Structure 1
């Protein structure tokens, strides 16, 4: 079982990686590469929210 600190750390790493991809997308000259990087960054941000990381609006709890 992972501790809350480990989960928060993983979520933080995912958000940092998403930010790096967003920055790379902004620098990309190829429109397809830009879209690929942007889409991947969005997916990572969603995953970080689901991981219940610190600083997200999501509490990480399943409402059901």
Structure 2
């Protein structure tokens, strides 16, 4: 399914972005910058989890047919 593939691709992109931000936060020396990067990483991770739930959701439970 094309839509599912698009969602899975988006999930992978968001997961990779979250990892990149986490790594950048670990390298950051400025505490404020570290916090900003940590917050961005958390949001990206939350978005990837939400997108993943949408991808794995059973169409019967969503009203889609």
TM-score, L = length of structure 1? 0.78
Gaps of 5+ in 2: none
Aligned mates of 1:45, 1:26 — CA distance in 2: 16
Query: Residue 48 of structure 2 aligns with which residue?
Result: 48
- 1:15 matched to 2:15: yes
Question: Which stretches of structure 1, 4 residues or more, deviate above 3 A after TM superposition?
Answer: none
Q: Which has the larger radius of gyration?
A: 2
What displacement does 1:12 show? 0.5
TM-score, L = length of structure 2? 0.77
Aligned mates of 1:45, 1:39 — CA distance in 2: 10
